[in-house]
């Protein structure tokens, strides 16, 4: 049974997966990546190979375009009882939560940039629908939405998909962003992300793309080369409160941004993830949801692990210039 454990010093929660626990030989064996089309469980026609569907979007012929299914090897399970216990100075809780896969396309391998715009919109609608559903379970505090694209980004299945993990705790880095936003708000009575949006839009050097609803930029203190953020222009702490025109604009901007990254960096592996407020909280004046894209171009070394301190070899202004120049 998976278990959540808390680091007694920093307060960081970790999932300890136990079924099956991975033994040394599992790491030594080279990883089995991506079945080819044909025996891929996410491909159209193989629907019986996944656990039962949670959600699907279908066309008029009742053919699915997007499916959400539980992860076959979930890191957390919604069926558990939430139980918090101590073990001397340590704290743990049962692994209550959800781990779902959003299958983005009937086709085996297709980039977000190649998907029709409507399908990219569907991905964001699915994120929204799933949050609204999971929110009803009061044990769950946070929903992480993310995509691992390519082997260097940690993808273990090739078929185009995103993932969702619902947690009974708020992840530490998200909590730090919220706390940082609160400190700024207490001092200035303004949202730090709104201030950043204003400064970036008027300065321009780090802007990659603009629409009426979103700004795509290279963040000032980017940790990684070509790190890219997509921010809604209007203040909003919760992704799930996004209305239709914002979802449309976001989908268009994401598709264009991924295409730019693919052109400039020749189809890199990347992760993207949505930072949004905890699902059980009301609207926060000091937090502003956004999406972060991290191309996986360099290997993270001891320095970064050890200190949460990053060396970025490409100034964000230069990265933004390359991406701006790449055309739509």
Query: Position of tokens 């260097």?
Result: 152
Region binding a second copy by CB under 8 A among candidate stretches 46-54, 109-117, 244-252, 269-277: 269-277
Q: Which residues are registered as beta bridge partners of 228?
A: 293
β 214-217/207-210 pair status: antiparallel
Shortest distance in whole angstroms from residue 175 CB to a second copy: 9
CB 259 within 8 A of CB 324: no
Q: Which residues are registered as beta bridge partners of 183?
A: none
The verdict on 289 binding a second copy (CB under 8 A) reads: no
Per-residue binding string, a second copy, 15-34, x by CB under 8 A, is xxxx--xxxx-xxx------
- Closest to a second copy by CB, 41 vs 150, is 150
Candidate list 271, 279, 320, 324; residue touching a second copy; CB under 8 A: 271
The rounded distance, in Å, linking the Cα atoms of 310 and 312 is 6
The verdict on 114 binding a second copy (CB under 8 A) reads: no
Identify residues 63-92 at the interface with a second copy (CB under 8 A). 75, 87-90
Q: What is the DSSP string of 17-78?
A: --TTPPPHHHHHSPP-----TTS-TTSTT-GGGSSPPSEEEE-TTS-EEEEEEE-SS-SSBT
The verdict on 325 binding a second copy (CB under 8 A) reads: no
Candidate list 30, 62, 301, 327; residue touching a second copy; CB under 8 A: 301
Reported as half-sphere exposure (CB side, CA atoms, 13 A), residue 140 has a value of: 25
Identify residues 201-260 at the interface with a second copy (CB under 8 A). 203, 219-223, 225-226
- Closest to a second copy by CB, 106 vs 174, is 174
Catalytic residue among 161, 275, 288, 290: 161
Region binding a second copy by CB under 8 A among candidate stretches 8-16, 39-47, 64-72, 127-135: 8-16
Q: What is the DSSP string of 100-147?
A: EEEE--SSSS--TTTS-HHHHHHHHHHHHHHHHHHTTSTT--EEEEEE
- In the chain, the N- to C-terminal Cα span, in Å, equals 47
The verdict on 273 binding a second copy (CB under 8 A) reads: yes
Q: Answer yes or no: 161 catalytic.
A: yes
Region binding a second copy by CB under 8 A among candidate stretches 60-68, 106-114, 164-172, 236-244: 164-172
Shortest distance in whole angstroms from residue 86 CB to a second copy: 11
160: three-class secondary structure by DSSP: coil
Region binding a second copy by CB under 8 A among candidate stretches 115-123, 133-141, 209-217, 292-300: 292-300
Phi, psi for residue 39 in degrees, rounded to 5:
-110, 25
- Closest to a second copy by CB, 31 vs 136, is 31
Produce one character per residue of 55-72: b if its CB has 16 or more CB atoms within 10 Å, e if not: bbbeeeeeebbbbbbbbe
Candidate list 1, 132, 300, 328; residue touching a second copy; CB under 8 A: 300
**Residues assigned a catalytic role:** 161
């Amino acid at each position: 049974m998976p278990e959540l454990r808390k680091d007694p010093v920093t307060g960081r929660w970790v999932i300890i997966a136990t079924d099956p626990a991975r033994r040394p030989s599992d790491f030594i064996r080279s990883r089995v990546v991506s079945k080819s089309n044909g025996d891929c469980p996410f491909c159209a026609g193989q629907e019986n190979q996944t656990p039962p569907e949670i959600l699907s979007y279908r066309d008029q012929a009742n053919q699915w375009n997007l499916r959400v299914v539980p992860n076959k090897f979930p890191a957390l399970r919604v069926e558990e009882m939430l139980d918090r216990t101590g073990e001397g100075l340590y704290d743990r809780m049962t692994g209550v939560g959800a781990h779902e896969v959003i299958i983005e396309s009937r086709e085996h391998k297709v980039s977000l940039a190649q998907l029709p715009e409507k399908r990219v919109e569907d991905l964001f609608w699915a994120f929204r629908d799933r949050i609204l559903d999971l929110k009803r379970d009061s044990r769950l505090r946070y929903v992480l939405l993310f995509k691992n694209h390519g082997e260097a980004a940690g993808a273990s299945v090739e078929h185009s998909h995103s993932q969702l993990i619902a947690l009974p705790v708020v992840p530490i880095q998200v909590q730090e962003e919220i706390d940082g936003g609160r400190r700024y708000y207490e001092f200035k009575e303004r949202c730090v992300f709104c201030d950043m949006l204003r400064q970036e839009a008027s300065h321009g050097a780090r802007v990659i793309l603009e629409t009426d609803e979103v700004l795509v930029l290279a963040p000032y203190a980017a940790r990684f080369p070509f790190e890219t953020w997509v921010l809604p222009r209007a203040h909003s702490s919760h992704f799930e409160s996004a209305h239709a025109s914002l979802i449309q604009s976001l989908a268009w901007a994401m598709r264009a941004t991924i295409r730019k990254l693919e052109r400039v960096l020749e189809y890199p592996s990347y992760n993207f993830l949505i930072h949004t407020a905890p699902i059980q909280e009301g609207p926060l004046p000091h937090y502003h949801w956004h999406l972060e894209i991290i191309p996986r171009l360099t290997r993270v070394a001891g320095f970064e692990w050890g200190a949460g301190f990053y060396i970025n070899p490409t100034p964000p202004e230069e990265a933004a210039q390359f991406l701006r120049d790449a055309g739509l």
